[in-house]
Each structure stands twice: as structure tokens, then as C-alpha cells.
Amino acid sequence: MQAKLRAEEAKRAALEAEKRAAKEAAEREAAENSKRITAGVSQDGARGRQPDDSSVIAGAQSRGSRSDGTKKLQSAVRATESALNIEQKRLQKLKELDEENQSLKLSSNEDFSGYEKDISRLIRQIRGLKDNVRTKASELVKIFNNPLCPQSISLATFSKKVVSRCETPDDNVAMSCGYVIVLVASQVPQVMDILLGEFHRACIYTVPKHIVYSEAAFESEEAYYKTIGYREEDGKIESLENYLSRLKSYMRLYAALIQTEIPGVQNAHGLKEGWAWLARFLNALPANIYTAVALNAFLQLAGFALFKKYKSQFRKILDNIYDNFLNALKAREDSKLNLVIAEIQYYIEDKKFLEEPEGRTLQAPPLSSTLVPEADYQEYGRYHQYQEYGYQYH
């Protein structure tokens, strides 16, 4: 009974913190131009330039004719404009895929449940071993290429099951799933956008995006909690602790994905996308319990690879986090933040980004030659132009 009361009290405290954050955000917005802390961040370590991610309140200016409710909800969103545009495109693809599969199942006499069960079984069997990862990825690709199973069914099932597979904290599972995702996506490129759409649907911080509570934008506190991803359990909103645990797991899987490097195989959502995520995060999101847990989980798994690639530029970002994000968290004087503040501070002060996270390196030769023939690397890889990103902290 006492545990339940503590959970309810923690939820109420989190909501009050969101109300305070909304007021503080409005005050900061008025003075943001004079208070910005800007640091150039570029892919090659050269002098950075201002990114197109400078909008800190996306949707505050409505486009076209929208209802007052929509306008109020949009004004509560904290995200860069580019992040929201990308999210919208991915969620639209996911929606179209879901509609296609619903129509397919209604109009077809075929039973695809066997393929869905096979995909689910293979994902549950993923382990942090070289032979296991190679085998599971190969078997999954065979299902994707099976003409008896529509690829839309395989895409939807794979994406849902991978995301749900990592809802419990387990770094090794996240890392090994990252390998499988990259290997499968190298041969079935459509996988990546659908998977990322599932990420965004499950956890808004993978966008990255935050929604501030306000009575004007939400009919009730419960409606707000559901909007940011809380689940309902036995007719009641789940506890803050359960929500944060799942948020942490989603972010670890996302971080594991962006830092996965396999020789000869292009990661379509690799380190440059992780760099963009970090820039967008620091450009737009406020410092609170949700964003702190998301950032900490991301750094723990992706920081090592980001430092290897971006060197001094990554250190500048860590300095900014230390001087500004952490101070903003401390200024809240909220005891629930003490642990995550300590973890981020320890990560930076003790230079934990110099240590390779557990499970990142599979104890085996490179995987690429076992799944993708060398001559086909270019065919399956998707190469993108690198862009420079900057960030500001507000």
C-alpha cells in the first residue's frame, strides 16, 4: 500500500514539475536570443555552422486552419522542426503499412500467422554471440524474401517485435539486436524507416521530442500521460518508475542501433544520425526527469562510438551537458533526479566514453562476409552525404 502511495505521489510530483517547466519555458523563450550558448559541431571537426534545427517550440505557429485544441497541443511540443518532419514521414509510412496489412488480412484467405510467429521466435532467440546474430539475421532475411509471405507483413512484425524485445533493461540484448537490425536492413532497406517509426510510436524521445503538460492542451492528466507514452494498467496509469524503465530500454536499443558498425556493411541509421539526434536533443528539449533518463541511456551506449568519430567536438557537447543540462536538473531540487544526475556527472567526469560498452564487440571475425558477399556491399549499403550540425542549449 505504501509503495502504491509513493508511486502516486511521484506521478503527481512529475506533473507539477511539468507545469513549472511550461512556465519556465515561456519565460526562457522571451529571452532565448540573448541567453543562447552556441557551439559549432561538425562531422569532420571543422568550424561548425548553425543547423536548420534551431526551432525550440515546433508547432507554436500553426499552419493553415487547425482547431484550437490542435494548436494548443502543438504549442506544447518541444522538438526541432526537422525532427518533427522526419517523425511525421516515418509515422505516415507506418500508418500506410498498417492499413495495407489490415486490408490484406481482410481480403485474403491466407493465414500469415505462422510467418509472424517465426519472426517473433527468431527475435526472442537473439543473443550476444557471433554465430547467433549471423544465423538469426540470415533466417529473418529468408522470411522477408519468401514470396508466400507479403513483405509488408514481415516488415510490420519484425519492427514491432524488435522494439518490444528490448522493453526490459539488458545492454547485451540491445547490442546484439542492433547488429541484427543493421544486417537485415542492409538487404531489406525498407526495414529501417518502419522500425524507426515504431521507435517513435513507442518512445517520443527517440525523435527526440518532449511534450509539456498544460491544462489548456489536455483534457486530463491521464490524457497527458498517455500522450507521452504511459500505459494503462488495470484501469490506472502505470507508475513513473515503470515508465522510466521502459523509456531507458527504448533509448538503449536506439543508441545501440546508431553505434553499430559492421565492416563492409552500411548502417543506414548510423553515427551521423546519432550526432543529429544529440544536436536536436540539446537544441530543443528541456531538462527534466524524462529527458535526463533518455540522455543518460543514450550516452551510456553510444558515447564511446561518437567520441571515436567526433573526438573534440563530442567533448564540447559533453562540456555543454555538464555546464548547462546538469545545472538545469540540479536547479529543480528534486530528489528523484539525484541518481540520474550522479550517473551523467560520473560518466563525464570519469571519462567513461573512453570505455567500450559491454556487448559492443562480438567475440568473432567480422560478420559481413557471412551475410553479404563482398561484391554486393555497394548494392545493399545506403550512403548519405554528411551534414554539419550545431546545437544551442536553452
> By C-alpha distance, which of 285, 293, 277 is closest to 209?
285
pLDDT score, position 15: 55
Residue 218, pLDDT > 70, answer yes
Cβ atoms 156, 235 nearer than 8 A = no
pLDDT tens-digit series, residues 333-353: 999 999 999 999 999 999 999
The answer to whether position 5 is within a domain reads no
pLDDT tens-digit series, residues 263-300: 999 999 999 999 999 999 999 999 999 999 999 999 99
Q: Which amino acid is at 250?
A: Y
Pairing mode, strands 391-393 and 37-39: antiparallel
pLDDT score, position 28: 43
The answer to whether position 344 is within a domain reads yes
Q: Which residues contact 61 (CB under 8 A, 6 or more apart)?
A: none
Q: What is the CATH number of the domain that holds 177?
A: 1.25.40.510
Range with the lowest mean pLDDT among 64-68, 77-81, 191-195, 350-354?
64-68
pTM for the model: 0.79
Written as nine digits, the cell of 117 is: 510467429
Distance CA 322, CA 97 (A): 42
pLDDT averaged over the chain?
81
pLDDT tens-digit series, residues 109-134: 889 999 999 999 999 999 988 899 99
pLDDT band at 63 (very low <50, low <70, confident <90, very high): very low
Residue 100, pLDDT > 80, answer yes
Q: Report how many domains make up the chain.
A: 1
Distance CA 162, CA 119 (A): 10
Residue 47, pLDDT > 50, answer no
pLDDT score, position 12: 57
The answer to whether position 161 is within a domain reads yes
The answer to whether position 105 is within a domain reads yes
Query: Once rounded to an integer, what is the mean pLDDT over residues 91-120?
Result: 94
Distances (CA, A) of 171 to 176, 294, 349: 9, 15, 22
Residue 3, pLDDT > 80, answer no
Q: Which residues contact 365 (CB under 8 A, 6 or more apart)?
A: 130
Query: Once rounded to an integer, what is the mean pLDDT over residues 162-173?
Result: 82
Residue 34, pLDDT > 50, answer no
Neighbours of 16 (CB within 10 A): 12
Query: Once rounded to an integer, what is the mean pLDDT over residues 25-54?
Result: 36
pLDDT score, position 368: 54
The answer to whether position 25 is within a domain reads yes
The answer to whether position 229 is within a domain reads yes
Range of the domain at 192: 14-365+388-393
pLDDT tens-digit series, residues 181-217: 999 999 999 999 999 999 999 999 999 999 999 888 8
Residue 29, pLDDT > 80, answer no
Neighbours of 151 (CB within 10 A): 16
pLDDT score, position 72: 72
